[in-house]
Amino acid sequence: MTGDEKKVLWELCKRATPGPWEWDAQSKYITAYADGSTVAAVGCAPADREFIAMSREAVPELLEEIALTRQMFAVAGALALLALDELPPATALQIANLPLRDPEEAINAYRRKIRQVLGDTPEEDAG
């Protein structure tokens, strides 16, 4: 999924009737739970109506999960390069976007932890 496609989905989510939505298995209506207004009257199978109703909440959550996962990969990559002394601390902090009071101590703590995980713990860092 491209960045433009995600932007389009975010815009659609923002403009859609607020959720959660629910569907009535006995009728053809999808209802906005918050205010009881009818969101759609669709002539499709019950499974399709259920999917449409659930998508109102699921799509924004999935987009947020994608963004969080990408951010986590960027942080992990920056910290791994930092631990291997391939990246300057200031750059790692910028990539990781970490809100830290004492950046140098945090950097050193991340270095120690990553080196432990990698099995490359110098004696002075152990403990």
Q: What is the pLDDT of residues 16-71, one digit of tens each?
A: 888 888 887 777 778 777 676 777 767 778 888 888 888 988 999 998 888 878 77
DSSP string, 59-73: HHHHHHHHHHHHHHH
Q: Which residue has the higher pLDDT, 10 or 19?
A: 10
pLDDT at 59: 93
Task: Confirm if 100 and 106 have CB atoms less than 8 A apart.
Answer: yes
Highest average pLDDT, of 16-25, 68-77, 90-99, comes from 16-25
41 phi and psi angles, rounded to 5 deg: -120, 105
In whole angstroms, give the CA distance from residue 98 to residue 80. 15
Domain boundaries, the chain: 3-125
Both structure tokens of 26:
């006995």
Contacts of 89 (CB under 8 A, 6+ apart): 82, 103, 104, 107
Could you tell me the pTM of the whole model?
0.58
Residue 78: is its pLDDT beyond 80? no
Which pair of tokens denotes residue 3?
A: 């960045």
């987009």: which residue's tokens? 63
Q: Average pLDDT, whole number, for the chain?
A: 75
Would you place residue 8 in the very low, low, confident or very high pLDDT band (cuts 50, 70, 90)?
A: very high
Could you tell me if 21 and 56 are in contact, meaning their C-beta atoms sit under 8 angstroms apart? yes
Q: Dump strand ranges (E) for the chain.
A: 21-23, 29-32, 38-41
Stretch 63-88: mean pLDDT: 76
